[in-house]
Amino acid sequence: MPVSDSTSVAQKATLTADQRRAAAVLLRANTSPTVAELGELFAAAGHELALVGGPVRDVFLRGTPPDLDLTTDAVPERVLEITKAWADKTWTVGIEFGTIGLRKRNEIFEITTYRSEAYDRNSRKPEVKYGTSLVADLERRDFTINAMAARLPSFELVDPFGGLAALKEKVLRTPGRPEDSFSDDPLRILRAARFAARLGFTVAADVQAAMGEMASRLSIVSAERITDELSKLMLTATPEAGIDLLVRTGVAQTVLPELPALRMEVDEHHRHKDVYTHSLIVLRQAIDLEPRYGLGPDLVLRLAALLHDIGKPATRSLLPGGKVAFHHHEVVGAKIARKRLTALRFPNEVIDNVSRLIELHLRFHGYGDGDWNDSAVRRYVRDAGPLLTRLHALTRADCTTRNARKAARLAATYDALEARIEVLREQEELDKIRPDLDGGEIMRILGLKPGPLVGKAWNYLLELRLEHGELGTERATAELLAWAEREGIAPPAPER
């Protein structure tokens, strides 16, 4: 059943006197005394100051807020005058947006002048204008749960748009028309998905509709800001809920078009109605495996899990009997992921690691019933490199069969592979696999100077090391000389 829209916000905004008193007591009890001290400082100077947004919301959700964001009618220059003698340190990095930062003892505050900001139709940056009203400042905020304030030093709750009611209902609404909110700052479209995923809230029907209608406005937002918001979404407790919201509303078509493209692709095992559903399940299972592998919230693993099958639409082919195949989709998918993540300007390391995991995610399925020799196990470890732990998690997460017996067999087989890796690691220091001869020794034996031939010889010896294990210096030298003869490289004459 769809959640009601934002038309009844005004009705939900009315609080009784008892509710206001209780709210003030709760806010005071769960906020640092320094906040009230700062409020008294501003009041003595003839200005308003209020704790605002996330800190107020978090008090009602979980107690003590991690951040201390405040708003005031004083312009930034006046804020600096008022706090100059009180603060231990101030900084003005955000002054062009009306924000002053300051530190008192070990506490950090950000104080922003009442403002209204909106994007020009073709601009990537907001135009900031100062205001004089707390309620007007709250009205320009993204969602009603973030449009609450506590006046200082009294901690009187200001909730003109029903934020407290929305918290109780677990629903995201906008203070005004969602179309106006998303037009002012299109990034709020993605923020809606993040808050829904982070808090487990439902998004009001009119907000969902506006997300889809206004998605094209995201084109004026820089790729860096979009990527930052997507990263925050992916690191929430249930990113799959936020991702699904973006797909259902059509927003993903603008920022991650490869995801909605998966909905029409039936996977080759016919276990799921589509590859898209499978991908969300793999993402969920990968997150559940993070503690097992000591990963914590891991952006690389989560992106790889979400995108691991995006090569399937491009590689889909029909087989006899109505079955579907996606040959080499891992290779194609790695290239597609690299292109998309690059366009979004993710860090190079994230791009490289996610692409590599996608490329490797099917490698285990060649393991069969454990019939890999030691050479194949070494190559598996070598190819994964520092991504091995994440590859373990991704490979296990990619098993979504509903056949309990088959799932148990796959898990047991992977348990056996991990056990073999650990045995070989203890025997051979797998993480440090190198040829038995280093570059200097290769140059000395073959009489070479630094250049491509040395690298070619090194790689040849590495392949032998992976295939046969440790060779020892004598055998490695013999193998190197035999290789050089085949390559037409004459070794230096022995010294007399």
Q: Domain of 98?
A: 6-170
- What are 270-289's pLDDT values in tens digits? 444 589 999 999 999 999 99
The single-letter code of the amino acid at 342 is T
N-term to C-term CA, the chain? 92
Q: Pick from 170, 186, 201: which residue ends a domain?
A: 170
pLDDT for the residue 13:
60
pLDDT at 8 over 50: no
Q: Do 304 and 371 lie in a common domain?
A: yes
> Is residue 78 one of the residues assigned to a domain?
yes
Are 160 and 279 members of one domain?
no
DSSP letters, 211-232, are: HHHTGGGGGGS-HHHHHHHHHH
pLDDT tens by residue, 42-55: 999 999 999 999 99
Nearest to 53 by CA among 12, 99, 88: 99
Among 118, 153, 170, the domain boundary falls at 170
* Statement to judge: residues 273 and 310 lie in one domain: yes
CATH of the domain at 95: 3.30.460.10
- In this structure, the answer to whether residues 17 and 117 fall within a common structural domain is yes
Q: What is the mean pLDDT of residues 325-348?
A: 94
**Shared domain check, 342 and 243:** no
The last residue of one of the domains, among 170, 202, 234, is: 170
How confident is the model at residue 1, as a pLDDT? 38
* 226 vs 15, residue with greater confidence: 226
Q: Are strands 107-113 and 69-72 parallel, antiparallel or unpaired?
A: parallel
Residue 370: which pLDDT band, with cuts at 50, 70 and 90?
Answer: low
- CB proximity list for 21: less than 8 A, separation 6 or greater: none
Q: For residue 158, tell me if it sits in a domain.
A: yes
The verdict on residue 493 lying in a domain is no
Indicate the pLDDT class of residue 2, thresholds 50, 70 and 90.
Answer: very low
Q: Examine the pLDDT at 9 and tell me if it is beyond 60.
A: no
Judgement on whether residues 417 and 335 belong to the same structural domain of the protein? yes
Alpha-helical regions (H) of 170-298: 178-184, 187-199, 205-213, 223-234, 239-249, 252-255, 275-289
427 with 442, same domain: the answer is no
| Per-range mean pLDDT, top range of 29-38, 132-141, 300-309, 485-494 | 300-309
Domain total of the chain = 4
| CATH value at residue 398 | 1.10.3210
Query: Same domain for 17 and 152?
Result: yes
CATH of the domain at 196: 1.10.110.30
Mark whether 414 and 438 lie in a shared domain: no
Give the predicted TM-score (pTM) of the model. 0.81
| Shared-domain flag, residues 195 and 94 | no
Asked whether 219 and 254 are in contact (CB, 8 A), the reply is yes
**Does residue 495 sit within a domain?**
no
Claim to verify: residue 83 and residue 182 sit in the same structural domain: no
pLDDT digits (tens, 9 = 90+) for 229-270: 999 999 999 999 999 999 999 999 999 999 999 986 555 554
190 and 145 in a single domain? The answer is: no
Q: Is residue 207 part of a domain?
A: yes
CA dihedral of residues 452, 454, 455, 461 (deg, nearest 10): 150
